[in-house]
Amino acid sequence: MQSVLDYLKKNRRQSIDQLCQYVRFASVSAQTEHKGDMVACAEWLVAHCREIGLETRLCKTARHPIVLARTPRIKGARKKHFVVYGHYDVQPPEPFELWHSPPFEPRIHKNALYARGASDNKGQNLAHLKAVEAYLKTGVELPCDITFVIEGEEEVGSGSLETFLKERASELRCEGVVISDTGMPAAGLPALTYALRGIASYELIVRGPSRDLHSGIFGGSVDNPAMALAQILAQLRDKDGRVTIPGFYDDVEEMSAFERAQFKRLPASEREYRKFLGVPRLFGEKGYSFLEQRSARPTLEINGLTSGYQGEGSKTIVPAWARAKITTRLVPTQDPAKIARAFRAYLKKICPPTVRLEIKSGHGAVPYIMSPRDVKAQAGVRALESAFGVAPVLIREGGSIPIVNQFKQQLRADSLLLGLALPDDNAHSPNEKFDLGCFEKGQVMSAHLWQELGKI
């Protein structure tokens, strides 16, 4: 085992170089123009996995290919099997002008690597590949069989993964899934995440006149779709952010006293948080701390607004249409399908008869929760402690990892969420970064994890 850790130390520089190569691919799954970059990125990953010594295949899907890479199986040896999940696709980099360096040109500054995808999820996932590489290159026997599943559709709802898992259910049957795609509450404070919020996404399009109209000639005699949309949106949340869709909170489970106590263990300064966000005042549902609001309570957010003229100066029109992109974040035991029905019914009720409303539903995921007392979770906790030298905290996270549910459903496997991202990593934002200390400790944690999981 010491030679595994020595290998990681010795190859520190090279691992960082490889991460730099990896983030250079503009693997934006949402944007058709990056289809070529997606393929190139997947092919780089395949070549890299083969170099490490993994049996690797690039598996076609209806959209973006999935990389499947497994440790060579030793004949006759009966080891526990774990799947390591990651994704090579990234969020759109826009708005470009807010990046201090180009999003796909890695830049190292203060021991952190800046690039889109550095933290979410290329860096975190590569840490596991590096740990397995250390075992394979040093000849130290891996206590577990490991299969990497690295997909290219996480940022657009993982649409191809379900079929992929279904078709390979027997090959992928496992004791559990290991995922590093979540966060640590603070630098130096590792965490195991036992719950995630679900998601349901929508696009609302309000249509009025058949074309943009001169607001002087027609204004006052025709409804304004941008105003109708604003009036609809304004009725979706109250002034404290509580969602006003009837029935929205029906299936929300209140946190247990144990859980609220866990939240209290976390470092949390409202003043610092406010400063970190750069907002004049904090905001959120009454009766909950900001840590609870953003992870254990549901929310409804507008992600984008589009209507009429957006260029320089003014254009005096009544726009023909207005659009809002919306996501709701859900907690146990809210069901995205049930929430979608309630949302549609409410929208239908509040939409004025002077416009037409189109509602598109996007990707959805049910919220996830597992027991923090599970033996695999405890193995994860020990591996984190070995790498970071600190007792990890048990946390809920506000993000959604829809695939956690798919693993549960298709493989009946729980997921160990061992996040390596720091709170200021700017995932989904301009100037995304990944701390190189977290990258190193993540590799060490992964090396220990296979020892711990091999023992259970």
What is the closest distance, in whole angstroms, from the C-beta atom of residue 427 to its own copies in the complex? 5
Give the span between the Cα atoms of 166 and 415, in whole angstroms.
17
User: How would you classify the pairing of strands 144-151 and 80-87?
Assistant: parallel
> Is residue 378 near its own copies by the rule CB under 8 A?
no
Terminal C-alpha separation, the chain: 18
Residue in 201, 334, 405, 410 binding its own copies, rule: CB under 8 A: 201
Burial class (CB in 10 A: 0-12, 13-18, 19+), 23: buried
Residue 234 touching its own copies (CB under 8 A): yes
Residues in the chain, total = 456
User: Binding to its own copies (CB under 8 A): which residues in 118-177?
Assistant: 156
Interface residues for its own copies in 71-110 (CB under 8 A)?
Answer: 91-92, 94-95, 98
348 scored as a contact of its own copies (CB under 8 A)? no
Using rule CB under 8 A, residue 214 touches its own copies: yes
Residues numbered 419 to 448 that lie near its own copies (CB under 8 A) are 426-431
> In whole angstroms, how close is the CB of 219 to its own copies at the nearest point?
4
Residue 222 touching its own copies (CB under 8 A): yes
Strand partners, 83: 147, 177
One residue of 47, 74, 108, 279 binding its own copies per CB under 8 A:
279
Does position 205 interact with its own copies (CB under 8 A)? The reply is no
Nearest-Å Rg of the Cα atoms of the chain is: 23
Among 43, 162, 223, 374, contact with its own copies (rule: CB under 8 A): 223
**Where in 18-57 is the site for its own copies (CB under 8 A)?**
30-32
Q: Which stretch binds its own copies (CB under 8 A): 124-132, 187-195, 257-265, 276-284?
A: 276-284
Q: Which stretch binds its own copies (CB under 8 A): 56-64, 173-181, 299-307, 378-386?
A: 299-307
Q: Rounded to an integer, what distance in angstroms lies between the CA atom of residue 388 and that of residue 77?
A: 32
- Can residue 397 be called a binding residue for its own copies (CB under 8 A)? yes
- The residue whose two tokens read 């539903």 is 361
For its own copies, the closer CB: 275 or 412: 275
Question: CB 369 → its own copies: shortest distance, Å?
Answer: 15
Q: Which residues are CB-neighbours of 85 under 8 A, at least 6 positions away?
A: 148, 149, 150, 151, 177, 178, 179, 181, 403, 407, 415
Adjacent-strand bridge partners of 395: 193
Place of tokens 């960082």: 16
Please tell me the distance from the alpha carbon of residue 185 to that of residue 165, in angstroms, as a whole number: 31
Burial class of residue 237 in the structure, from the number of CB atoms within 10 Å of its CB (0-12 exposed, 13-18 middle, 19+ buried)? middle
Q: Which is nearer to its own copies, 363 or 408 (CB)?
A: 363
Running DSSP on this structure, what letter comes out for residue 391?
P
The least CB distance from residue 411 to its own copies, in Å, is 23
Provide the 10 A C-beta neighbour count for residue 320: 17
Binding mask 306-345 for its own copies (x = CB under 8 A): xxxxxxxxxxxxxx--xxxx-x-x----------------
